[in-house]
Structure 1
Amino acid sequence: MLKHTKSLLTFSLLSTLLVGCGGGGGSGTAQTPDGVRINLTASDKGLVTASTDTGRLVGHNYTHAFYGVWVDDSKQVRELRFQGTETPRHEIPTSGSATYYGNAVRLDSVTNEVLTDATSRINVNFGRKTVDGEITMPGLRRDITLHEGRLNGASYSGQASVLMNSEGRYDGKLYGPNAAETAGIVRFGNNPDLDTAFGGKRY
C-alpha cells in the first residue's frame, strides 16, 4: 500500500510487481521534481514504482543503490537519477576485477512508456582502474556500448555509443561495502531519447 504525503512518500510494493545522491544508509531519499520525497531505504528491493503528485518514479532499488527515471503525467518531462551509499575510497579494491549484472531504465520513445527490461553488464578492473560495459536493449532498439573509461575512487566515466551515434557519455559510482553495487546514467546530448539509467550487482 502506498502512503503519500507532500513531504514524504514511502512505497511498499508486492514483490511480483514489475517494476545525484541520497543521504543516510541504503539508497537514501529521493526528491522528485514535483516536490515529493521518497524513502528508498525503507522501500522494497527490486523493480519498484511509485506515483507522485504529477508523475511517477520507476526504477530498480538495491540494498545500497537506486537507479531509475521520474516521468511527469504528460510524459514530456523526465529526470534520470542514480544514488545510494557510496563506497568509501579505502574499501575500493586495488587489484582484481568484477562484473556487475543488472538492468537499465528509460522512457521509451517507441511505446512512450517506461522501459525496464533492458539489461546491463559493467566490467571493472580495479588494478587498471578502468570500466567498460554494455546495455542490451529489448526488441529492435539499439544496444548501448560503454567504452573503456576511468575509475577514480568510487566514481567512473567514459564515452558511450549506439549504432550510428557515438556522442554519448556515461557516469556512475560504486556503492555499498566493498563496492557491492553500481549505478549510473548514460546521456546522449544530441538525442535525449537514448538517455538511460543503469546499474548492477557485483558477481
Structure 2
Amino acid sequence: MPTRQKFDHELVDLRLKILDLGRIVNEQIGLAVTSMVNQDLELANAIVVKDLEINDLQADIEEQCILLIATQQPIARDLRKLVAGFKVSMYLERMGDLSVDIAKITIRIGREELIKPLIDLPRMSTLVQEMITVGLKAYVDEDCGAAAEMALMDDKIDKIYAGVFGELKAIMMEAPHKVTQANYLLFASRFLERLGDYCTNIAEEIIFICNGKRMDLNE
C-alpha cells in the first residue's frame, strides 16, 4: 500500500475511534443524570465501571496519534488533524470523568429525599449531549462554522447554571439542614457547566484543523 494511502487509512481509523469514544461519553453523561433523577444507584455504579473502557480507548487513540506523528512526520493540515484528534480524545476522556463524578454524587445522595425537583440538570445534560453530537459531526466534516456555533449552545448552559446556583444558594440560606444535599446538587450542576466548556474546547480544535488558528470560545 502506498505511503499516502496508508496514512489516509490511518486517519480514517483514528476518526472512527474518536467518534466511538464520543458516542460512549455522550451516553455516559445522559445516564449519569438519569441515575441522579431516578436515584438509581445500580446505574450510577455501572457508569463508574464503564469509565475504564473510556480510559482504554483514549489511551489507544493517544498512542496512535503519537505513532503517526513519529513515523509519518506529517506537516500542515495533516499534522493539525493529528494534534487536534489527540486533544479531542483528551477532552472526551475528561468529560467521561465528569460523568463519573455525577454518578458518584448520585451514590452519595442515595435514597435520601431530594430537596427539589431535578428539572434543570436534565436540561443542561440535553444541551451538552446536543453539543457533543454537533461537535462530532463538525469534526468529521471539518465544519468550522458549525463548531463556532457551539459557543452559543454553551451560553444557554451557563445561563441555566447561574439560575441553579442562585436557587440552591437560597435553599441553603433558608434551610441549613439541606446544605449537604444542596452542595451535592451544586457540584453536579457545576460539572455539567464544565462539560459545556469542554465541548467548546472541542470546537476550538475543529477550527484549528480548518484554518490553523487558535480561538478561545469560552471567553
Q: Is TM-score (shorter-chain normalized) higher than 0.5?
A: no
Q: Give the alignment's TM-score, normalised by structure 1.
A: 0.25
Q: Quick check: which one's helix share is greater?
A: 2
Q: Quick check: which one's strand share is greater?
A: 1
Q: Over alpha carbons, which structure has the higher Rg?
A: 2
Q: Which has the higher contact order (CA 8 A, sep 6+)?
A: 2
Q: Give the alignment's TM-score, normalised by structure 2.
A: 0.23
